[in-house]
Structure 1
Amino acid sequence: MALHAGFCASIMAVPALAQENDAFVTFQVLKPEYAQRAAVAAMESCREAGYQVGVMVVDRFGIPQAYVRDRYAGLHVFETARRKAWTAVSFRTDTLSLGELTAPGEMMAGIRELSEPLALGGGLVIEASGSIVAGIGVSGAPGPDLDADCAQAGIDAIMDDIAF
């Protein structure tokens, strides 16, 4: 229940990015070079574990920035990696948690009826200074928890560069 309350609060929260009377907002996004590094690191992490995956990094608005696919990864990995990354930034939560929150019978199950979200583990938000700067999605490992582990390895590969 605490997870549900925290998720609802994070969806409803509006970031305080500008002065109330200012006509502009300021935000940060991950540079493409770092998006590519995170994607490659996630793919290599999965490869070392014996998994062939595709990895997509999207900006904070869900627009693709980088994509890599290992040589034997399945055809489906492009779409599923993209949708996982998009879902993570759109709902501001990891997709493994979203899967639990939107399970059949749960209050937020209707999210699964939308065309774009993919409530399947492997999508994570990338944050810097408390702000979402990107999302990463991994698809192709033999389980969504393993996809999530590889996505985390991608984030870890750039964390020293983006933590400030």
Structure 2
Amino acid sequence: MTRNVCALALMAGLATPALAQDDSSAFVDFQVLKPEVAQQMAEAALLACREAGYQVGVTVVDRFGLPQVFLRDRYAGAHVYETSHRKAWTAVSFRTSTTELAATTAAGQTSSGIRHLSQALPLGGGLVVYEGGGSIVAGIGVSGAPGPDLDDICAEAGIAAIEDQIAF
């Protein structure tokens, strides 16, 4: 168990971008998406899946993993609420895509203990959303397509829909 905790700390440290900190201030600055932009991203992801013939749920969380938007298409399964949220939460929490995390936490891997966390869901469909300077501003999770790789494609379409608004 100790090795898993060390690996988890190492993963978090490696995934964290080096940020210049002003240590003289008692405050930190960060950015999150406006609700309207989070809504646009979720809608674009849902529509991309719908156009491909998939009924999905999409959750957008802020940089801390708190939900901003949830959309469920009319015939998407009941499970998509929980799974899309957990995918988005997992992506921002571990600062990596859930597809990548699925590989690094597979059985027998040093970081497999992550799979025992109640909220973590290392299953494709969760992506981190970065602003132009490289800071995390959100996470998006998609659930309900026939495979996690297809959930990823829809999440990517959601991010692409707002890219011009967040790349500066």
* TM-score for the superposition, normalised by structure 1: 0.92
Task: Give the structure 2 partner of residue 4 of structure 1.
Answer: none
Aligned length, in residue pairs: 158
Task: Give the structure 1 partner of residue 146 of structure 2.
Answer: 142
Task: Give the structure 1 partner of residue 25 of structure 2.
Answer: 22
Q: Is 1:84–2:77 an aligned residue pair?
A: no
Say which is worse superposed, 143-152 or 9-18, in terms of deviation.
9-18
Task: Give the structure 2 partner of residue 11 of structure 1.
Answer: 12
Moved over 2 A (4+): 7-10, 13-18
Task: Give the structure 2 partner of residue 155 of structure 1.
Answer: 159
* TM-score for the superposition, normalised by structure 2: 0.90
Percent of aligned pairs sharing the same letter: 63
Cα deviation for residue 20 of structure 1 reads: 1.7
C-alpha distance in structure 1 between counterparts of 2:24 and 2:44, whole Å: 42
Gaps of 5+ in 1: 1-6
Closer/same/farther in 2, CA of residues 60 and 17 from structure 1, 3 Å limit? farther
Check the 8 A contact 1:17/1:25 in 2, yes or no.
no
Q: Is 1:108–2:111 an aligned residue pair?
A: yes
Closer/same/farther in 2, CA of residues 37 and 92 from structure 1, 3 Å limit? same
1:77 maps to amino acid: V
Cα deviation for residue 10 of structure 1 reads: 5.9
Q: Is 1:68–2:38 an aligned residue pair?
A: no
Q: Is 1:45–2:48 an aligned residue pair?
A: yes
C-alpha distance in structure 2 between counterparts of 1:8 and 1:146, whole Å: 30
Determine helix, strand or coil for the equivalent of 1:55: strand
Closer/same/farther in 2, CA of residues 114 and 142 from structure 1, 3 Å limit? same
Aligned CA RMSD, in angstroms, stands at: 1.5
C-alpha distance in structure 2 between counterparts of 1:9 and 1:127, whole Å: 21
Q: 2:126 aligns with which of 119, 123, 126?
A: 123
Check the 8 A contact 1:120/1:144 in 2, yes or no.
yes
2:151 maps to amino acid: D
